[in-house]
Amino acid sequence: MSEDSDSANNENLKELEEILGYKFRDRKWLVRALTHSSFANEQENETRDNERLEFLGDAVLGLVASDLLFAANSGDEGALTRAKSYLVSARYIGKLAKKLRLGEFLWLGHGEEKDGGRGKKSILANVFEAVIAAVYLDGGLEAARNFIVRIYGDAIAEIDKEGLLRHDHKSYLQELIQSKELPAPVYSLVEASGPDHSKQFTVEVKIGGAGPVLARGSGGSKKIAEQEAARTARALIEAGAVDLEAFRRSNSG
């Protein structure tokens, strides 16, 4: 990025620092955090993108979130793991990135710009992690910790570990399955029985809509039945009764 370009964007960087609540000693870290690979690839000079920062930011966020959850809650390992998985998930940090308006400050390539990159959840989640890494490299672990605490607010201290995602087992199951690079779960209605005023629905869930049934669930509505199927499938996976790695290998072979 040229000096003229840096100068032109100086006010934007200052505005973002105010939003973040952190003033960089060396803004090169913030500039790199905001530089998407699509932009870097279009430059004639050797502009560095934010991908390495994403890697570091993910590790820093995981460490700080684990530390804060451990200090603030007395849940068992499983509950703490579920809470951490939720708080550092792309879905959750993508929302935080939107709240911080990070999409407005990104440097994107022309193609990604036209494709709506500023609003993509994956890009927003990645830039959020990159910004955490930028704060860490600029000010150290304590600065990164303070930043994370400020952005998360009371979410970590007040999270309901035991009830976490109790009503959103589908989201948890999808993240669990896609973390193994498998297709998203697909739910199918297999039965609807009983009178109209008290129907019972039965739903089954499969990975990508093909292969063996992971689990079935029943309830007074299709939504409830889907959540029950997801809850059962999740429990089977966590208990080791369903091996997602084996499923992935069989599908890639």
User: Which residues have a catalytic role annotated?
Assistant: 58, 129
d(C-alpha 179, C-alpha 246), whole Å: 14
Helix (H) or strand (E) segment spanning residue 204: strand 200-207
Torsion, Cα 172 176 178 181, to 10 degrees, reads 180
Residues 6+ apart with CB under 8 A from 87: 65, 69, 152, 155, 156, 159
Alpha-carbon distances, residue 118 vs 110, 123, 139 (angstroms): 12, 7, 27
**DSSP labels, 155-201:** HHHH--TTTTTTT-HHHHHHHHHHTTT-PPEEEEEEEEES-GGG-EE
Question: H-helix or E-strand containing 60?
Answer: helix 51-72
CA distance 108 to 49: 10
Q: Are strands 185-193 and 215-219 parallel, antiparallel or unpaired?
A: unpaired
